[in-house]
Amino acid sequence: MSAHLVLIDALNLIRRIYAVQERPFVHSKHQLEGELADKTQQQVLFNTKKACTKALDNILQHQQATHALVVFDSEQPCWRYQLYADYKKGRKKMPAHLADELPPIQDAFLHLGVDSLIPAEDEADDLIATLATKMALRGQDVTIVSTDKGFLSLLGPHIQVYDYFNRRYLDDKYVKDKFDVRPAQLIDLWTLTGDNTNKIPGVEGIGQITAANLLNEYGSLSAILKSDSIKPTIKDKLNNSEAQLTLTRKLLTLKQDIPLGFNLKDIRVKQTNVY
Same domain, 88 and 194: no
Tell whether the model's pLDDT for residue 29 goes beyond 60: no
Q: Using one digit for the tens of pLDDT, what is the confidence trace for 149-178?
A: 999 999 999 999 999 999 999 999 999 999
What integer is the mean pLDDT of 237-258? 96
Task: Give the model's pLDDT for residue 62.
Answer: 96
Structural domain contains residue 273: no
Final residue in a domain of this structure, among 175, 199, 223: 175
Amino acid at 49: K
Same domain, 191 and 159: no
Q: How far apart are CA 257 and CA 75, in angstroms?
A: 20
Same domain, 16 and 126: yes
Structural domain contains residue 87: yes
Q: How confident is the model at residue 32 (pLDDT cuts 50, 70, 90)?
A: very low
What integer is the mean pLDDT of 119-135? 94
Structural domain contains residue 245: yes
CA-to-CA separations, 82 to 69, 150, 190, 250, in angstroms, rounded = 27, 20, 20, 12
Structural domain contains residue 271: no
Domain with residue 235: its CATH number is 1.10.150.20
What pTM does this model have?
0.93
Task: Give the model's pLDDT for residue 272.
Answer: 58
Same domain, 226 and 114: no
Domain of 94?
Answer: 4-175
pLDDT > 90 fraction of the chain, expressed in percent and rounded: 84
When divided into structural domains, the chain yields a total of 2
Structural domain contains residue 275: no
What integer is the mean pLDDT of 136-159? 97
Structural domain contains residue 261: no
DSSP state of 269: P
Domain with residue 106: its CATH number is 3.40.50.1010
Q: Using one digit for the tens of pLDDT, what is the confidence trace for 59-76?
A: 999 999 999 999 999 888
Q: How far apart are CA 182 and CA 187, in angstroms?
A: 10
